[in-house]
Amino acid sequence: MTDSIGLAVIGAGYWGPNLVRNAMATAAVDVRYLCDLDEQRARQVLGRYSTITATDDYDRVLDDPGVQAVAIATPAASHFPLAMAALDAGKHVLVEKPLTSSLADGEKLVQAAEDRGLVLMCDHTYCYTSAVREMRRLVHDGGLGDVQFVDSVRINLGLVQPDVDVLWDLAPHDLSILDFLLPEHVSVVAVAAQGADPLGHGMPCVGYLTLRLSTGAIAHVHVNWLSPIKIRTMVIGGSQRTVVWDDMNPSQRLAVYDRGVDREVAGDLDPDDRKQIRVSYRTGEMVAPALPEREALLAMMTEFAASISEGRQPATDGRAGLRVMTILEAAERSLGHEGSLVAVEAL
């Protein structure tokens, strides 16, 4: 392999141009192709990037020995065949969320990458933001104490997707963040899902997930394509502190509150008797950590290149994608059973 990693971006739609721009800004990456079924659209996206070849021939990309990796930004249903063809051709693969449109296909991709010694990475972009990385540090370093609850809201107007419902479109962001934040000994063990289709779209446009964690805590995720306002918030409540992330507030994305409820048991009395339990309210200070502003997608692309060069798994590898998909598939089963609680398969 040369000093730079030859990369082909597959898909010139909504996300592909962002991948091209950030790959071009990554020193370790040499963008060779932008491949799309509509070659003219690829040419329009490239514009001034005259060193990148626009093509509609995926086989040409895979046959080029100068391409060591592909970044796939196409509709979810096409992820599996495109990624598997790339792995079969000996290419490292970065895939836009979700990893595939079914858990079975995702497992095949992960196994294929591991068998071939190739990097398979999920584009869980939010995990590379300064705010989420700081939240992870707070959780893993014990700065929040034990996680007691998580509440996440991701609502906006559109984009209504033709091939996946709102849970498969938006919830992977929140679920990937949750997977990234939680300590290794904490996992999602069950999910209950509610969805509504007021548009008559044929699949939910509004969705709610209630996740049960292995510690007994719960997490709640609200996703919605129909909201006239855009909200991106997550609250992680800990036994010592609570952190609030507001991604729409660039002047204060994170706020850490030393406020909450402390539980006290009177003397040596039976702690199971709720009448003997006292609570006190802690009203400490709020701290807004200073965070560097950086483009998460650039950090993600840097991690992809580093994982290839160093021969290691990336922070959001294929198995991280599988863990998200196990929750989504359990949520689908819950929707089919009127929102009943469904166990999440352990990986």
pLDDT category of residue 284 using cuts at 50, 70 and 90: confident
pLDDT over 80 (residue 88):
yes
pTM summary value: 0.90
What are φ and ψ of residue 309, in 5° steps?
-65, -35
Mean pLDDT of 293-302: 94
Q: What is the dihedral of CA 124, 300, 118, 83, to 10 degrees?
A: 50
Report the share of the chain in percent with pLDDT over 90: 85
pLDDT category of residue 1 using cuts at 50, 70 and 90: very low
Domains of the chain: 5-125+296-316 (3.40.50.720), 127-293+327-343 (3.30.360.10)
Q: What is the pLDDT of residues 38-61, one digit of tens each?
A: 999 999 999 877 889 999 999 999
R_g over Cα of the chain? 22
The residues with which 218 forms a beta bridge, in sequence order, are: 149, 212
What totals of helices (H) and strands (E) does the chain contain, helices first?
Answer: 9, 15
Closest CA to 22 of 84, 120, 99, 96: 96
Lowest average pLDDT, out of 82-91, 156-165, 312-321, goes to 156-165
Q: What is the pLDDT of residues 76-87, one digit of tens each?
A: 899 999 999 999
Closest CA to 291 of 317, 261, 255: 255
* CA pair distance 95, 70, nearest whole angstrom: 8
